[in-house]
């Protein structure tokens, strides 16, 4: 019985730590770029696109497909790095164990 209470306390503590890390991640952002800086995307730790900036000369070129590719590349890189940041922060709390809900 005592072991069960101890396990429940540890689980509750870990849950509180995970919530705190998720709150902290929500305030962090990452800026990534594609095309040598022609397209810049800012992504939050919540894996949401915060902003997107396109250099004017890209628009002047009129290559719609290239611009679309650069936008997709920047957003995907931002999301990938955001996931890595989240996994790194959460692994500090979980000791490498990845809960199924993450």
Domain range holding 48? 28-92
Residues 6+ apart with CB under 8 A from 49: 41, 42, 43, 75, 78
* DSSP 8-state assignment for residue 35: T
In the prediction, which pLDDT does 24 show?
86
Q: Is residue 47 part of a domain?
A: yes
Q: Is 98 within the bounds of a domain?
A: no
Structure tokens given for 41: 């995307």
The answer to the question of residue 100 being in a domain is no
Query: Domain for residue 53, yes or no?
Result: yes
Q: How many structural domains compose the chain?
A: 1
Give mean pLDDT in consecutive 10-residue pieces for the chain, a chain of 102 residues.
81 83 87 95 93 93 91 96 88 69 53
Residue 99 lies in a domain: no
pLDDT computed for residue 69 by the predictor: 95
Between CA 43 and CA 84 the distance in angstroms is: 12
CATH of the domain at 51: 3.30.1310.10
The answer to whether residue 64 sits within a structural domain is: yes
Q: What is the pLDDT of residue 4?
A: 83
For tokens 């696109």, name the residue. Answer: 49
pTM for the complete prediction? 0.75
């Amino acid at each position: 019985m005592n072991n069960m209470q101890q396990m429940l306390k540890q689980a509750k503590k870990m849950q509180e730590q995970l919530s705190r890390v998720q709150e902290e991640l929500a305030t962090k952002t990452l800026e990534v770029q594609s095309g040598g800086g022609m397209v810049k995307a800012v992504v939050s730790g919540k894996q949401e696109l915060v902003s997107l900036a396109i250099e004017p000369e890209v628009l002047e070129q009129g290559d719609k497909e290239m611009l679309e590719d650069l936008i997709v590349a920047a957003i995907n890189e931002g999301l990938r790095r955001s996931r890595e940041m989240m996994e790194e922060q959460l692994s500090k709390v979980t000791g490498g164990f990845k809960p199924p809900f993450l």
